[in-house]
Amino acid sequence: MRIFKRVWNWFDDITGISAVLGPLLKHPVPRARKSAWFYVLGSATLISFFLQIVTGIALASGYVPSSGQAYDTLLFITGTDIGRIVRGMHAFGASAMVILIGLHTIRVYLMGAYKYPRQMNWLTGAGLLLLTLLMAFTGQLLRWDQTGFWSVVIAAEQAGRTPVIGQWLARFIMAGDTVGGATLSRFFAAHVFFIPALIFLFVAFHLYLVVHNGISEPPQAGRPVDPKKYRSWYQALLARDGQPFWPDAAWRDAAFGLLVIVVVAVLAIVIGPPELGPPPDPTIVEASPRPEWYLLWYYAVLSLIPKWSEDWVIILGPAIFGAVLILLPLAAGKGERSPIRRPWSFVIVAFTVFMIAYYGAVGHIAPWSPRMESPPLPAQVVGATTGPVAEGARVFHYKGCLYCHLISGYGGIRGPDLTYAGDILTPAQMTTRIYSGGTNMPSYTGNLTSEELSALIAFLSSRHRQPVFPLPLPRKQ
Ligand code: HEC
């Protein structure tokens, strides 16, 4: 024990660390009493970020960010015991970080803690929220499977609709005209160097502000913030009823942070990392991926809103959201903090959470997204094992038609049910549709040989309603 103390004294003497850290740890914070546990969400977000750095560095040391090897190196990583757990922790850690930063934002918003003098705390926090979502988005592509690949294709398509800079933006995202090796390099650099560097900067500024302005006291109805008097009032409050941050308040942060790490680790061990989808294959024409749950709702909104409103929602949605985040502390920087006196804040939070949950659920089950895991049609459904009909059924599967179309209960439901296609469409109508595509159906021009096309038509034309035979006899009374 003595030796540790001597080493520490020596270290402290030549670095002066305790003179800096001491006041930081001991600085007084308001007693929160009933709402004390709400105050742990920010530090827990930071802890989950550190967890992402540690697991991310571990992953990066086994991962090769090249289009030829990324998928295989991830398969390799997932195949080892440690790698499986680390990948699982990185994936669940990402969810944890998104949830925690979301809850932290809601907490700060409801408690009106963005008001004077903490407007810049809010603005740097909003920056961190955006950067966190960017990390989630860029990380998705690094898996380099179908889902990651198509998520970026769709995102680039959406970005391309922005007026004036759309084309440039889409090219910037993809690092070219299509998603390929250059895109992967760009996303890797963004995910590993650029965005984390920005997060560090923002976190440093955010934490400095937290200490500089002090932690907000729990709001009280009828005690509005007056910028002229607030600071002196706050100092008096601390002098009257403050407590040192360490250990009186910080033990909660430590306990909750530890809980977050344990939960993430347990989930990673028990459930494991998300399964890798099939490797990316640009020849599979397929319209919508199934991104991570925290982005899924946004993709679902984009694909479910009526066509005419798409451009508006794609451009105005994020613009309004960003403007509200920035303007909120500037426009409403004083006055009542208590949510009881700001009843609208509950409505806004409830609405936002509902939208994300609702569209997340819709995105999960609704026909908006093709079922990429659809197995080939069984022989008794096809009704043939050789010949053009059977060949057509195979084409129907490997060209991805089955992802969107239902045949006798098999397949996806994004497009119309084609179980009785032979009854409702002529071969000419089928050919036109397959070549020209339609709303939410890709055009297959140039992507089908004429043999494949005639096999498809043969298969679809053989789909008929079965005559009901024997006819049910009239029931004897
Ligand atoms: C990404 C999903 C998707 C894929 C993949 C897809 N389709 Fe479609 N398909 C649709 C949608 C959506 C419609 C309705 C389009 C419309 O009404 O504008 C449609 C319409 C059709 C129709 C016309 C149905 C009718 O009742 O009018 C046919 C036939 C058809 N698809 C065949 C195919 C074939 C064959 C393939 C594969 C080569 C295929 N589809 C791949 C989504 C898809």
User: Nearest CA to 139 among 76, 74, 229?
Assistant: 74
Tell me if 394 CB under 6 Å of ligand 1: no
Ligand 1 touching residue 447 (CB < 6 A): no
SS3 at position 438:
strand
Q: What is the 3-state secondary structure (H, E, C) of 349-403?
A: HHHHHHHHHHHHHHHHHCCCCCCCCCCCCCHHHHCCCCHHHHHHHHHHHHCCHHH
- Is there an atom of ligand 1 within 6 Å of 359 CB? no
CA-nearest of 355, 342, 401, 343 to 376 is: 401
Backbone φ and ψ of 472, nearest 5°: -60, 130
pLDDT of the residue at 313: 80
Q: Helix, strand or coil for residue 132?
A: helix
- Answer yes or no: is the C-beta of 370 below 6 A from any ligand 1 atom: yes
Task: Answer whether 440 contacts ligand 1 (Cβ < 6 A).
Answer: yes
Element (H, E) at 183: helix 181-189
Residue 373 Cα to ligand 1 middle (Å):
18
**With contact defined as beta carbons under 8 Å apart, do 178 and 282 qualify?**
yes
Q: Do 29-365 and 379-461 fold alike per CATH?
A: no
Residue 190 Cα to ligand 1 middle (Å) = 37
The pTM of the whole model exceeds 0.85: no
295 within 8 A of 151, measured Cβ to Cβ: yes
Decide: 411 and 403 in contact? Cβ < 8 Å.
Answer: yes
Residue given tokens 């002196």 in the structure block: 232
Residues 6+ positions from 347 with CB-CB distance below 8 Å: none
**Which CATH number is 379-461 given?**
1.10.760.10
Helix, strand, or coil (residue 27)? coil
C-beta 444 within 6 A of ligand 1:
yes
Q: How far is the CA of 267 from the centre of ligand 1 (A)?
A: 39
Q: Which residue's alpha carbon is nearest to atom 41 within ligand 1? A: 401
Angle at which helices 450-461 and 427-436 cross, to 10°: 130
Atom 14, ligand 1: which residue's CA is nearest? 415
Cα 404 to middle of ligand 1, angstroms:
7
- How big is the CA angle at 426 (ends 449 and 377), to the nearest 5 degrees? 60
Closest approach atom of ligand 1 to CA 287: 1
- C-beta of 289 in contact with ligand 1 (< 6 A): no
Would the CB of 287 count as within 6 Å of ligand 1? yes
Nearest CA to ligand 1 atom 39: 401
Residue nearest to atom 5 of ligand 1 (CA): 401
Q: Atom 11 in ligand 1: which residue has the minimum CA distance?
A: 415
pLDDT at residue 366, rounded to an integer: 57
| Domain boundaries, given as residue ranges, for the chain | 29-365, 379-461
Question: For residue 444, which atom of ligand 1 is closest to its CA?
Answer: 38
Q: For ligand 1, atom 25, which residue shows the shortest CA distance?
A: 416
CA of 407 to the centre of ligand 1 (A): 12
Residue of 405, 418, 432, 436 with the most ligand 1 atoms within 8 Å of its CB, for mutation: 405
Architecture of domain 29-365: Up-down Bundle (1.20)
Helix (H, G, I), strand (E, B) or coil at 116: coil
In order along its 477 residues, the chain shows pLDDT tens digits of 799 999 999 999 999 999 988 888 888 899 888 888 999 999 999 999 999 999 999 999 999 999 889 999 999 999 999 999 999 999 999 999 999 999 999 999 999 999 999 999 999 999 999 999 999 999 999 988 877 887 787 788 778 877 888 889 889 998 988 788 899 999 999 999 999 999 999 999 999 999 999 999 999 999 999 999 999 999 999 999 899 998 889 999 999 999 999 999 999 999 999 888 777 765 554 444 567 888 888 877 876 776 677 777 877 888 899 999 999 999 999 999 999 999 999 999 999 999 999 888 877 765 555 555 667 788 888 888 888 999 999 999 888 788 778 888 787 777 788 989 999 999 999 999 998 877 777 778 777 889 999 999 999 999 988 654 444 444 544
Closest C-alpha among 252, 240, 235, 369 to residue 302: 369
- 312 CA → ligand 1 middle, Å: 26
Kindly give the distance from the C-alpha atom of residue 461 to the centroid of ligand 1, in angstroms, as a whole number.
Answer: 14
Is residue 399 in contact with ligand 1, taking CB distance under 6 Å?
Answer: yes
What's the confidence (pLDDT) of residue 282?
55
Q: Beta 406-407 vs 410-411: how paired, if at all? A: antiparallel
